[in-house]
Amino acid sequence: MGERSSVDCYIDCWEGSYRKLLAPGILGERYARHCYPFARRVLTINNVDDKHEALGLAEAAIARGECDEYIVVADELPLALKRCELRLKDIASLMHFTDFLLVTVMTAKADFVLHVAGDVQLVRPFDWVSGAIAKLEESPQFFVANPEIGDHPGWSEQTALRFEDPYWVSCGFSDQCFLGVTARYAAPIYNQWNLMSYRFPMSTIGRIFEARVDAYMHNNKLLRITDSRVAYEHKPFTEGSMHHFGSRRQRVAHKFLKQAGEIKQGWERRRH
């Protein structure tokens, strides 16, 4: 088969998730389900109350062979912001929806970077990464790859522009699970905006990571590929929503801007 492309796989944890994620056997299984020989299996640690406890559990996971290293987001954030040409105040309104992802893409060393949210896992073991890399290398228009979103069956087909077996080709971006070329993400692409990005939560309060990437993709006519052969499930470790809903005025504004963005997205799909 020849030499495989190098991939760094990042999984994140925070105050509401690190104790369960770092229980023996959990983290290692999350990486292993992708059935790919990752160059680095990295854990990002962010927004924890007891840093000493979190680091101790991370060290234990490394000792068990469940990951290779951990990164404390706060330590790496200043350099990550500098590299992507953002200031701290640019992300301050929704800091912890963005900071760990910027650190992820800016500290990756392999050819490709894969981020998987700590409360996301593939429904079954499957090497979707190898095929996705080959597809991403076909054309620079393909910017991101991900498995099916198991929580929304049929959604990938409904929103697709076309089907290139076994991939649904579409617009848009999700930060729950994404694979892309490291050099394309470790670049100053996060200051753009697009009307369609208002469909994301909290968009009238601030620009979270996935909305920033989504805007860049729409502005540059970049596409996503979704593997129809395997899905991931999203099971949060904590109950309730973490979203900041903002003032009544902001919620009303978001409702109308979201509708406008969805109308534009539908029009763009018809154009294709």
What's the CATH code, domain 7-271?
Answer: 3.90.550.10
Unique residue bearing structure tokens 């929304």: 152
Cα angle 37, 42, 44; round to 5: 155
The CA-atom distances, in angstroms, between 11 and each of 29, 74, 257 are 12, 16, 32
CB 112 within 8 A of CB 6: yes
CB 218 within 8 A of CB 141: no
State the pTM of this model: 0.87
For residue 10, the cross-strand partners are 42, 115
What pLDDT does 260 receive? 47
What pLDDT does 271 receive? 57
Domain positions in the chain are 7-271
For residue 143, which amino acid is it?
F
The CA-atom distances, in angstroms, between 169 and each of 128, 136, 158, 181, 219 are 15, 11, 11, 17, 17
Q: Using H for helix, E for strand and C for coil, what is the string for 30-97?
A: HHHCCCCCCCEEEEEECCCCCHHHHHHHHHHHHHCCCCCEEEEHHHHHHHHHHHHCCCHHHHHHHHHH
What pLDDT does 253 receive? 44
What pLDDT does 153 receive? 82
Q: How far apart are CA 211 and CA 18, in angstroms?
A: 25
Q: What is the mean pLDDT of each run of 10 residues along the chain (272 residues)?
A: 84 97 98 98 97 98 98 98 97 95 98 97 97 98 96 86 97 96 98 87 87 95 97 76 47 45 52 55
CB 100 within 8 A of CB 44: yes
- Can you read off the two tokens belonging to residue 156? 């990938």
* Number of helices (H), then strands (E), in the chain: 11, 10
Residue 67 CB neighbour total at 10 angstroms: 22
What pLDDT does 258 receive? 45
